[in-house]
Structure 1
Amino acid sequence: MQALAVRAAVHIAAIFGIYLSAAMLVPAAVDLYYGNKDWRVFAFSSFFLGGLSLAIALATQGRPPVASSRFGFLVVNLLWFTMALAGSIPFVASSLELGVADAVFESVSGITTTGSTVLTGIDFIPPGILIWRSILQWMGGLGVIVLGLFLLPFLNIGGVSYFKIESSDIEDRPFERLSVFALSILGIYSGLTLTCAIAYAAAGMNGFDALNHAMTTMSTGGYSTHDASLGYYSDNLAVLWVSTLFMFVGGLPFSILVLMAIRGRLDAARDPQIRVFAGYVLFFALAVAIYLRISTGVPFFEALTHSIFNFMSVITTTGYASQDYSTWGPFAVACAFVATFLGGCSGSTSGGIKAYRFLIVFELMANGLRKLIYPNTVMPVRYGDRRVDDDMQRSVVLFISAFFVIWAIASILLAATGLDLVTAISGALTALTNVGPGLGEMIGPSGNFFGVSDTGKWILCLVMLLGRLEILTVLVIFTPAFWGR
């Protein structure tokens, strides 16, 4: 890796730090409006980060290097690392008096749209902190869309890019139209967030709650303004249905939304991964709703509302909870555990393994079984009506293999910090899939991560970043070949 590339990557991260410092003025204004003294914290953090970022940007400016995959990997990792550290500054300096591990954990959980939290008494936390948590998740969700649609396909890590969907040539990547498409995504993402906020307000939320939850719903992040999450509104079924709808939209590929909204391409909704995503959401929601109706006797519509809300939340890796579903019985808990792996679509704000990978893996398995009977037959792997090239097949198999290896290692490391087996296993899984709540009394839907040791929190921070950046993007920078010539 050339020094010029490292210098250019630092310069890009510094420019991003300037934008992030400007975003800190929003919670400063909110605290000032509500008469909270923490506005000074955000104002100071903004000027400190802005000044430092500007100095670094000026010191590192120069001729950019030739675009390459190694430079792309470095920029992606450095941007998210910068966002994690910069986002933690207000948490450390605020009246909450969080330690460094807690502050970084809250920031990483925000930008990765995981939604795990170390905070308690959220109902009484200053409004500036609450809006800052939501902003981190909203920005993180937008970053995930860009990562999934543009950077990962370009770096051959995976993902189904906009260009592969729009173009008849799977190798066509018309980057000259990238800025137009990026602005379209920003417009649709912002418009959906505003629509979601209006819908929440119409359903009965106050304006502040509606805005915060709209940002964390569209980003499938899950931060709430209440300790009880959306359980605070558990009696308001309209709120839960609004949230369910927009979580589903957040789990859709934004490339499809752009094609439908800008190009009028309604046929784009036939993307196979959308059918798979909607299919397993409906399967788990209906199965558990019927189970609740039979086992508890609650009215079916109420059971369906809570079931589809909570499973949409888990599958899209949002992390909201309307009830503690760990008390619904072993069948529901088992379904929730399996649902934690799934995720939404490629190019969405959700995490998890994602629907398109399941499609490709099952196609590989089916071809493998057919070749046992017809060993000389050539059987291409297909995604819908398109042939999946060898690079995509390799990236899918490599990702899933790495996923389970990282999960096993993280579970062992968390158990070594003193966590019980269920907490360690589900904590590692929920961090890697960016879901938020795990299983068990401590980190379940009604708990939080406050009781995890500082060592455990640092481990979870790394795992959350690994999961958000699709694992391979992070692992590659630790290989000797990456830093060689």
Structure 2
Amino acid sequence: MAFAMLIPAVVDIADQNEDWRIFVGSSFLVGMVAALVAVATRGERPVFTQKLGFLLVTTVWIVATVIGSLPLYFSSVNVTYAGAFFESMSGLTTTGSTVISGLDALPRGILMWRSLLQWLGGIGIIGMVLLILPSLSAGGLALFHMESSDKSDKVLPRVNQLTGGLIAAYVTLTLLCFIVYTSLGMSFFDAMNHAMTTLSTAGYSTHDASMGYFDDNRILLAATVFMILAALPFVVYVRAFLPRRFQLWRDPQIIVFLVICLVLSFSIAVTRRIINDTPFGEALISSTFNLVSIITTTGYASEDYTLWSNAAIGIFFLASFLGGCAGSTAGGIKANRLVILFLVVRASFRRLIRPHAIVRLKYGNDEISAQTIQTVTIFFFLFFGSLLMGTVFLTIFGLDLITAFSGTLTALANVGPGFGQVIGPAGNFATLPDSALWLLSGAMLLGRLELVTVLILLFPSVWVD
């Protein structure tokens, strides 16, 4: 992160903006502290335990958020520290909610830093979800491991290969998105920023009007395609280069995710054609873009979709819960959990009809273990419990019920925009009190780290040997 701060510093120097001093100073401070810690702990190799794993993941994300907030707080942007921390947390968790308005007049260095936070958060999320959480039995994602032709117990080479493949896929897709955006008329700077925030399914834009600023259906179509690609399991792209390993449809969550996107987008387009008399082709493009943006938890908007119709609002509200695929940069409940929950419910109904029947639960070709079912069940309980608790606390802080509920939902699901006049797609979180921003920052961390990873640290028994 210290190195990354030098990139917006160069942009500010080119623009003759004094904020470059803030980025260079923050980079020097962070780099110096990191170097001192590295030297002080050189040669030490602590025993890795699950307790350390939970603590490490949560602590790294909080420390990274504090680091990311420094340039935002000390720069020319007028925000409180609660606002700067919220903006940094929203970036690194790829949520996309913002307390900053007037983006078109903002220094380009700050715009670049916001996009970099989201891009770095995106690759961090992929690594955490695929490499760390399964070993902690926290994410319920053991089904999405990387297959290896090496049948020995040499774990390190396999992990190194997977990590390199994930980074290569992430960088390659970002570059492709950048090239497509520039070819469609975006400036070099806009294309670079939007490519980073598209592939991280994060949604920060360089303009207040978001993607609506460009007023080009071709850009909306391109963004839709890359948002979908970013919401698929990144292991798919690694497997694509391995012989006899590329089977896109083997993972049921991919089919479910794509079908949901198709059905909901078409439904919104039909309602707009009937209710608003919008030409179907235009309605389908904008409806698909905005729906995919919400369901992949990217958070871009081409217009205020809450003005379309009550039917459209209802569909967007449903999409806010769903999310993309496990093993991607998308947030939300995720398609794999929806599939598993459906299979569990269907099996329960079958047992009611035939009490003595033996019902086997299979996810694709793999049998679903009791631990996976337990993990998914716990996630749903914690997700909706946290949603209710967050809503109650935000109403205590003075927010109306719609803002409180949608604000908590968008934070837990890492979606970005909420609903209502205050934090809807046409607004932002700038008017919320600092107490609400702190709570929502915590909710974003909870949602991004799969809830259990953070909440387990609150149990005293965890700290008792």
TM-score range, shorter chain: over 0.9
Structure 2 gap segments, 5+ residues each: none
CA 1:478–1:62: 2 relative to 1, 3 Å: farther
- State the 1:98 CA deviation: 2.0
Match of 1:306 among 283, 286, 298: 286
Q: Look up the match of 2:97.
A: 116
In structure 2, distance between residues paired with 1:407 and 1:160: 22
2:382 is equivalent to residue 402 of structure 1: yes
Q: Which amino acid aligns with 1:471?
A: L
Q: Contact conserved, 1:193 with 1:214, CA < 8 A, in 2?
A: yes
Match of 1:63 in 2: 44
**Does residue 1:266 correspond to 2:266, yes or no?**
no
Please give the alpha-carbon distance, in whole angstroms, between the structure 2 residues aligned to 1:170 and 1:410. Answer: 46
CA 1:100/1:362 → structure 2, altered by over 3 Å: closer, same or farther?
Answer: same
Q: Which residue of 1 aligns with 2:59?
A: 78
Amino acid at match of 1:49: V
In the alignment, which of 110, 113, 118 is matched to residue 137 of structure 1?
A: 118
Check 1:326–1:163 CA distance in 2 against 1; reply closer, same or farther (3 A cut).
Answer: closer
Alignment partners' CA distance in 2, 1:194 and 1:88? 27
Q: Distance in 1 between matches of 2:179 and 2:290?
A: 22
Aligned residue number for residue 427 of structure 2:
447
Spell out, residue by residue over 1:393-438, the C-alpha distance to the aligned partner (whole angstroms, 9 max, x if none): 1110000110000000000011111111100000000000000000
Partner of 1:292: 272
SS at match of 1:21: coil
Residue matched to 1:96: 77
Q: Paired residue for 1:483?
A: 463
Rounded to whole Å, the distance in 2 between the matches of 1:269 and 1:142 is 24
Contact 1:417–1:456 (CA under 8 A) maintained in structure 2? yes
Pick aligned residue for 1:252 from 213, 225, 232: 232
Q: Provide the rounded CA distance (Å) in 2 between the counterparts of 1:300 and 1:306.
A: 10
Moved more, 203-212 or 171-180: 171-180
* 8 Å contact kept, 2:130–2:145: no
Deviation at 1:297, TM superposition (A): 1.7
Is 1:382 the counterpart of 2:362 in the alignment?
yes
Q: Does 1:186 align with 2:156?
A: no
TM-score when normalising by structure 1: 0.93
**Structure 2 partner of 1:365:** 345
- Alignment correspondent of 1:346: 326
Q: Which residue of 1 aligns with 2:436?
A: 456
Looking at structure 1, the residues matched to 327 and 436 of structure 2 have their Cα atoms a distance apart, in angstroms, of 30
Contact 2:140 2:375 in 1 (8 A): no
Root mean square deviation, CA, Å: 1.8
- 1:168 Cα offset (Å): 10
Residue 222 (structure 1) shift: 0.2
Distance (Å, rounded) in 1 between the aligned partners of 2:148 and 2:414: 31
- Between the aligned partners of 1:245 and 1:131, the Cα distance in structure 2 is 23
Question: Would the aligned equivalents of 2:417 and 2:423 in 1 still touch at CA under 8 Å?
Answer: yes
Alignment-mate amino acid for residue 173 of structure 2: L
Q: Percent identity?
A: 46
Equivalences for residues 138-177 of structure 1 within 5 A:
138-161=119-142, 164=145, 166=147, 174-177=155-158
For 1:64 and 1:133, how far apart are their aligned partners in 2? 34
Asked if the contact 2:148–2:158 (Cα under 8 Å) also holds between the matched residues in 1, the reply is: no
Which among 424, 441, 448 is matched to residue 468 of structure 1? 448
**Structure-1 separation of matches of 2:150 and 2:281:** 46
CA distance in 2, matches of 1:89, 1:264: 47
Query: Per-residue deviation at 1:167?
Result: 6.0
Q: Which letter does structure 2 place at the counterpart of 1:306? A: S
Relative to structure 1, is the Cα distance of residues 396 and 467 closer, same or farther in structure 2, using a 3 angstrom cutoff? Answer: same
Deviations 1:364-419 (A, max 9, x none): 00010111122122212210121011111111000011000000000001111111
CA distance in 2, matches of 1:459, 1:140: 20
Q: Which residue of 2 aligns with 1:14?
A: none
Instruction: Count the aligned residue pairs.
Output: 465
Counterpart Cα distance in 1 of 2:80 and 2:459 = 32
Contact 1:277-1:345 at 8 Å conserved across structures: yes
Partners of 1:159 and 1:346 within 8 A in 2: no
